[in-house]
Amino acid sequence: MKRALIALLLSIFILAACDASTGENLSDSQIPENHAEVYEPFNLPRDQVAEITIFLGERSDEVAANLKESKELDEFYPILQGAQPPSGDAVTADWPYTVVIKLNDGREKELQFTGGGSVFTDMTDGRSYAIDKERFNDFLSGYLEHS
């Protein structure tokens, strides 16, 4: 009887240990070694945007463009909307542009553009997005010519 009880207890102990190690192995195997976070495209509904200000350099520097008119906002908005995560690393040493988006509810979203102007970082969540550098520069040049 004692032997049966000891055998039963050992069996339970061994089964419990196997279940625990199997559970650990399953949770470890669910995350691949080369795991990288998957980011969604930049998404900010146009109807939430009240104003966009583009600064040369830091936020306190010279204003390059102050977009308040619906036509201006409609022109610039597609440059940002749907921007995808960049394929490489962003060069964060210098930020030649800071874009501040003022929302209808009074909140602001700050975007800092990299030295090359092809990547911006949303300072709200730290995520980076690639944009069409040429399209951004063309918009800014056109805006500056007409103002």
46-57 pLDDT, tens digit each: 999 999 999 988
Report whether 44 contacts 129 (CB < 8 A): no
Whether residues 127 and 56 share a domain: the answer is: yes
Whether residues 137 and 91 share a domain: the answer is: yes
| Residue 76 belongs to domain spanning | 46-146
Alpha-carbon distance of 12 to 22, in angstroms, equals 15
Report if residue 109 sits inside a domain: yes
Whether residues 92 and 132 share a domain: the answer is: yes
List the beta strands (DSSP E) in the chain: 49-56, 63-67, 97-103, 108-113, 119-122, 127-130
125-139 pLDDT, tens digit each: 999 999 888 898 899
Is a pLDDT exceeding 50 seen at residue 27? Answer: no
Q: Number of folded domains in the chain? A: 2
Report if residue 140 sits inside a domain: yes
Whether residues 53 and 93 share a domain: the answer is: yes
Q: What is the mean pLDDT of residues 93-116?
A: 86
Whether residues 21 and 51 share a domain: the answer is: no
